[in-house]
Amino acid sequence: MKFTYAVPAGLLAASILFTGCTNNNNSTNTAANSTTATTAPETATATTAPETATADFTSAIDSYRTYVIQQCDEFVKQTESFTNAVKEDKIDEAKALYAPARMYYERIEPIAEALGDLDPNIDARENDVDAAEWRGFHKLEKALWQDNTTKDMTEVADQLLKDAQLLRAKVETVEIDANLLVTGAVELLNEVSSSKVTGEEERYSHTDLYDFVANVEGAQKIYELLKPELAKKDADLEKTIGERFAALQAELAPFKSGDGYVSYEELKEDEVRKLSQNLDALAEPLSNMGTILGV
Amino acid sequence: MNKHNKFTGVPGNPESPPLNDQSKNDPIFGKKLSRRDMLRLTGATGLGLLLGGGGVGGIIAARNAVAEPTKAAEGDSSSIPFYGSHQAGILTPAQNFIYFAAFDFTTTKLADVKKLMQAWTTAAAALTTGELIGDVNDNPNLPPSDTGEADGLNPARCTLTFGVGPSFFDERFGLASKRPALLADLPAFAGDNLDPKWCGGDICVQACADDLQVAFHAIRNLARIARGTAVLRWTQEGFQRTGAADPKGATPRNLLGFKDGTGNPDTTDNAEMNKVVWNSSSDGPSWMSGGTYMAVRRVRLRIEVWDRSSLSDQEATFGRYRHTGAPLGAKDEFDELDLSAADAFGKPVIPANSHSALAHGDGTVKMLRRSYSFSSGLDVTTGQLDAGLLFISFQRDLMKQFVAIQQRLSKTDLLNEYMTHTGSAVFACFPGIRSGGFIGETLLS
């Protein structure tokens, strides 16, 4: 894992408390977040200076942090609605809220992965971790779709919301450098390639396409932020990546259904293969974005 | 870049006499060699002697590995020239392994196809000489342009052979008028059990090498370079006996235990090769002059059933003795098939519907076979081995040669009881690539 993070103990504690106090009041929360967001990039740029002497990534990094925080805010909000539905035993409502809530997480997944145990706590699938430690979205997914019950899930739901809030607190202090952006974009697509395109991620709900789309959107966001520098350094590469994002989006478009996406089970074998190959075609040039970092 | 190229090849001299002439009189061997001796020697490893990929010139390239003098004869360090008047991998004595790949284009722009062929040419020239491909192999910020698993390995006589299928000439690239009349999907044969997952392809790459890792590396890197322009459609890896297992280079045996390739035409005979394999300008479109047509069939052998049949049944099925490979009633592997010989009861010694008798026919129709065995794990539905023959043949005319023979075989061949054809494809293999040119140049420019 190439992400680095430093969480000064005091700051972290403050953030957790802060988020914990305000999670019922979204407007306050957002206002407070933007304050913290503006102070963070100073640390980030200082640490990346030697690597990026030839190009200035300050504004890309600032924008990305803002994006991550926005996604996290929305993630906490949507997760709360989802976990409330679980706790209130509203199974259909919980099912409807599940996949859309996860998209906010999937867009910034590499960041979460960088933050210690947060990713397994939020997103582990069965058998990824010891059964006794299994918690998070997929445990609720199994209860809702496989067992069709919310029995004994209150604690899991509460824990998930706390983990989501902890993620929101921690992203304030994640160090982001240009290298992190470049590798993060590829990792998002690798995520799709290894578990979403195969239907393994959402084995009970079959909502894999939501995750697929969100991972791609997260990678595209990074590409767009780095695009000006990339165009300067390697215009052909920048163009190729842009075209292949468009090709993949076009490939995904027919699978839209209302506000969401069709069940993974509706995909035919050749459609999965084509999606996967389009993804590889995009990920290959994307993995060369490191060219902007210079040697 | 190129720092890993340890081998200084002696460039093939186009003025060299054809291989058979030169080597037959080679003082090293002290005596004239028969064609079979020659094949054995070239099949053996470590002699530093190999057939050139070029056919018309029949260029001989004698090379020695200079970097590691302590290395024993085990393993062939030689490279086979990529550029030449014909593509390598056709007359080249079969290397130990094959990694065959069929690709489909995902682009609809001819310019993209041409660009890929140019990129593949550069890569193929490096891959067949054991160099790392690309120029980004030491930038810490980027994925290396060579995937690296063949780094430090010798070229292992790697050859890459390219050809386009009938589907390449559909409406996408505006090349319909350039499709050779001789290039069309094969007709259905009796007993075919084709699965689309092993059929067709816009373009094929036959990677052969004396090391499977080297062959795999070549296909992997070509597939990687192709991303966004072409995708893999199907692949099959295959093997035959290695030079280490069989230093004498005898005719390889298929998985039914019988020698396979005894009746092949002499690849060192230029006149014969021009007659059987290479297209001339009178055969069809000029872009195919110096090229050849390839038939690929994935033949699943019913190994379990075969293993329960008696030796005499097995030998009657092939029309040959299992141990020696000699035709029934004869002694030597290379004895002529005497299809008129009869036993005391007037029955033919070699059954008329035996594989050899039908494949031979009246002896006038030949093709160059260059097949490999495959083993692809289990057929999970039956628990039987998914193993067989990756049949590959090269010919000037698919209909008159491969199809004519296969039609005879598919109807009455005794061997049909023990096999089923599961994959099928045909390709027009380009003429050789000239130095400075690119794969398919005669068609695409």
Q: Which pLDDT score is estimated for B57?
A: 32
Task: Name the residue among A277, A280, A288 with its Cβ closest to that of B142.
Answer: A288
B10 touches chain A (CB under 8 A): no
- What number is the average pLDDT over the span A143-156? 97
pLDDT digits (tens, 9 = 90+) for B58-117: 333 333 333 333 333 345 579 999 999 999 999 999 999 999 999 999 999 999 999 999
Q: Which pLDDT score is estimated for A116?
A: 81
Tally the residues of chain B.
445
pLDDT at A6 over 50: no
CB contact under 8 A, A284 and B224: yes
pLDDT at A69 over 60: yes
Quick one: which of B251, B247, B253, B250 has its CA closest to B262? B251
Please give the residue that has the higher pLDDT: either A276 or A48. Answer: A276
pLDDT at A132 over 70: yes
Confidence class for position A110, pLDDT limits 50, 70, 90: confident
Confidence class for position A54, pLDDT limits 50, 70, 90: low
Q: Which pLDDT score is estimated for A129?
A: 92
CA distances from A13 to A3, A18, A31, A280 (A): 21, 8, 19, 41
Q: How far is B381 from chain A (nearest CA, A)?
A: 19
Secondary structure letter of residue A207 according to DSSP: -
Which residues of chain B lie closer than 8 angstroms to A183, CB-CB? Answer: none
Which range among A84-88, A112-116, A245-249, B329-333 shows the weakest confidence by mean pLDDT?
Answer: A112-116
Q: Which pLDDT score is estimated for A80?
A: 98
Are B50 and B157 in contact, with CB atoms under 8 Å apart?
Answer: yes
- Give B344: exposed, middle or buried? Use CB within 10 Å, 0-12, 13-18, 19+: exposed
Secondary structure letter of residue B30 according to DSSP: S
Confidence class for position A28, pLDDT limits 50, 70, 90: very low
pLDDT at A71 over 50: yes
Which A-chain residues 236-275 have CB contacts (< 8 A) with chain B?
A: 240, 244
Secondary structure letter of residue B62 according to DSSP: E
Q: How far is B181 from chain A (nearest CA, A)?
A: 31
Q: Which pLDDT score is estimated for B350?
A: 96
Residue type, B275: K
Q: Which residue has the tokens 């706790």?
A: A87
Q: Which pLDDT score is estimated for A252?
A: 96
Q: Which pLDDT score is estimated for A117?
A: 86
What's the rounded Cα separation, in Å, for the pair A98 and A106? 12
**Average model confidence (pLDDT) across chain A:** 85
CB contact under 8 A, A179 and B141: yes
A180 → chain B, closest CA residue:
B141
Confidence class for position A115, pLDDT limits 50, 70, 90: confident
pLDDT at A39 over 70: no
CB contact under 8 A, A290 and B106: no
Q: Which pLDDT score is estimated for A113?
A: 79
Q: Which pLDDT score is estimated for B191?
A: 86
CB contact under 8 A, B140 and A295: yes
What residues in chain B have per-residue pLDDT under 70? 1-76
Residue A117 Cα to chain centre, angstroms: 15
pLDDT at A29 over 60: no
Chains A and B form CB pairs within 8 A to the count of 34
pLDDT digits (tens, 9 = 90+) for A154-204: 999 999 999 999 999 999 988 889 999 999 999 999 989 988 899 999 999
Per-residue tokens: B181: 């009349």
pLDDT digits (tens, 9 = 90+) for B21-73: 444 344 444 444 444 444 444 444 333 334 333 333 333 333 333 333 333 33
Are A164 and A76 in contact, with CB atoms under 8 Å apart?
Answer: yes
Upper half-sphere CA count for residue A20 (Cβ side, 13 Å): 11
